[in-house]
């Protein structure tokens, strides 16, 4: 049963790569190491799923660092945040022009940029956002080093074994793909959905706006069938996972070490399960537990479910809308090309 549910290969490799960052956080007591854990797993997932070569992994890490800096700066003003979020959505969706599997790289650029940018800005306490963004960069780049080394070691071992060395050390990817179908449609849907969600973040009463924005973006998967499936999985995961986490969190001791462990466990859910609905439900539950263990009021965990549901609805509405409009335009072009013309 567990062989079908848990991805032991990805989980074990992810845990090994994450362990130096987790240990650094425990030894130094610096919370930034725990915040940077999501970069380690994001770069690892992109390297595995998008078949990035070592240079590609390095560039992905640098892109995340630059994105976090820009996102942190943009959070100083609502209009700049909306523009930065839409631009991020366009870039991360547009990267599928290099192939369908590059969607993993796009998604796992969006996630760390958005989440770490929000966390950095939330801890500003009157400090300059640009300065804080620059202070975070070394942590983000160091958190990617285990994945860069692992990717380099894998390529080197292939060369020493006399096997195929892929496309060499200077290549960005180990494979070549055709552009993903519906790429432009996905870019439009992502930009519109993220733009609306980012605009709502500034409304009074909106907490944890990063969940709202990412939920809107995550539903845009490139085609209608997978978008509907992901929307359904996220709705179920949030509605079931958050209450379960709240129940568990009430009985958990409020100790800093438990929060640190929960942070690492939450990140590992990105690679731990084969079924998305289980992974996302577990992630929602762990987020809820972490909020309570951190000493916040129990009801704040409700915002996880509210933001996920609202963002997912925004996302699926724009996916359906762009799909219908694209289909209508294609139909008009086809009819125009096939309809016989009357000779006057």
pLDDT by residue (tens digit) across 60-77? 999 999 999 999 999 989
Of 180, 215, 242, the last residue of a domain is 180
For residue range 111-150, list pLDDT tens digits in order. Answer: 999 999 999 988 776 568 888 889 999 999 999 999 999 9
Q: Identify which of 15, 36, 41, 16 has the alpha carbon closest to the alpha carbon of residue 25.
A: 36
Domain range for 256: 181-331
pLDDT of residue 339: 47
Q: Indicate whether 251 and 283 sit together in one domain.
A: yes
Q: Residues 208, 305: one domain?
A: yes
* Residue 151 and residue 236 in one domain: no
* 339 part of a folded domain: no
**Same domain, yes or no: 185 and 287:** yes
198 and 229: one domain?
A: yes
Tally Cβ neighbours within 10 Å of residue 203: 9
Asked whether residue 271 falls in the same domain as residue 126, the answer is no
Same domain, 171 and 93: yes
Give the number of domains in the chain: 2
The 3-state secondary structure of the chain reads: CHHHHECHHHHHHHHHHHHHHHHHHHHHCCHHHHHCHHHHHHHHHHHHHCCECHHHHHHHHHHHHHHHHHHHHHCCCHHHHHHHHHHHHHHHHHHHHHCHHHHHHHHHHHHHHHHHHHHHHHCCCCCCHHHHHHHHHHHHHHHHHHHHHHHHHHHHHHHHCCCCCCCCCCCCECCCCCCCCCHHHHHHHHHHHHHHHHHHHCCCCCCCHHHHHHHHHHCCCCCHHHHHHHHHHHHHHHHHHHHHHHHHHHHCCCCHHHHHHHHHHHHHHHHHECCHHHHHHHHHHHHHHHHHHCCCCHHHHHHHHHHHHHHHHHHHHHHHHHHHHHHHHHHHHHHHHHCCCCCC
For the chain, which residues score pLDDT lower than 50?
1, 338-344
Q: What was the pLDDT predicted at 334?
A: 58
- 142 and 280 share a domain? no
Task: Count the Cβ atoms, other than its own, within 10 Å of residue 130.
Answer: 12
The pTM score is 0.91
Residue 258 shares a structural domain with residue 221: yes
Q: End of a domain among 127, 159, 180?
A: 180
Which residues lie closer than 8 Å to 255 by C-beta, 6 or more apart? Answer: 293
Measured CA angle at 181 (ends 339, 272), to 5 deg: 150
């Amino acid at each position: 049963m567990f062989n079908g549910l848990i991805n032991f290969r990805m989980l074990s490799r992810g845990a090994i790569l994450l362990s130096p960052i987790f240990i650094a956080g425990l030894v130094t007591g610096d919370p930034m190491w725990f915040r940077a854990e999501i970069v380690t797993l994001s770069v690892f997932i992109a390297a595995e799923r998008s078949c990035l070569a070592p240079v590609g992994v390095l560039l992905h890490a640098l892109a995340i660092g630059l994105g976090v800096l820009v996102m942190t700066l943009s959070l100083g003003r609502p209009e700049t945040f909306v523009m930065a979020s839409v631009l991020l959505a366009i870039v991360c969706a547009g990267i599928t022009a290099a192939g369908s599997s590059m969607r993993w790289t796009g998604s796992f650029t969006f996630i760390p940029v958005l989440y770490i940018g929000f966390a950095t800005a939330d801890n500003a306490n009157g400090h300059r956002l640009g300065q804080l963004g620059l202070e975070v960069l070394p942590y983000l780049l160091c958190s990617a080093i285990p994945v860069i080394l692992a990717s380099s070691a894998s390529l080197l071992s292939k060369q020493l074994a006399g096997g195929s060395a892929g496309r060499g050390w200077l290549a960005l990817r180990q494979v070549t793909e055709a552009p993903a179908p519906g790429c432009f449609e996905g870019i439009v849907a992502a930009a519109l959905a993220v733009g609306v969600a980012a605009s709502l973040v500034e409304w009074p009463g909106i907490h944890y706006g990063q969940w709202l924005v990412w939920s809107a973006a995550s539903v845009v998967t490139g085609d209608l069938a997978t978008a509907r499936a992901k929307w359904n999985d996220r709705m179920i995961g949030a509605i079931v996972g958050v209450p379960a986490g709240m129940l568990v969190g009430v009985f958990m001791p409020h100790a800093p070490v438990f929060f640190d462990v929960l942070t690492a466990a939450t990140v590992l859910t990105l690679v731990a399960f084969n079924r998305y609905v289980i992974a996302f439900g577990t992630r929602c539950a762990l987020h809820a537990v972490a909020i309570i263990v951190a000493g916040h009021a129990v009801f704040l965990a409700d915002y996880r479910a509210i933001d996920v549901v609202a963002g997912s609805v925004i996302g699926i509405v724009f996916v359906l809308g762009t799909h219908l409009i694209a289909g209508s335009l294609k139909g008009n072009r086809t009819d125009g090309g096939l309809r016989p013309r009357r000779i006057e």
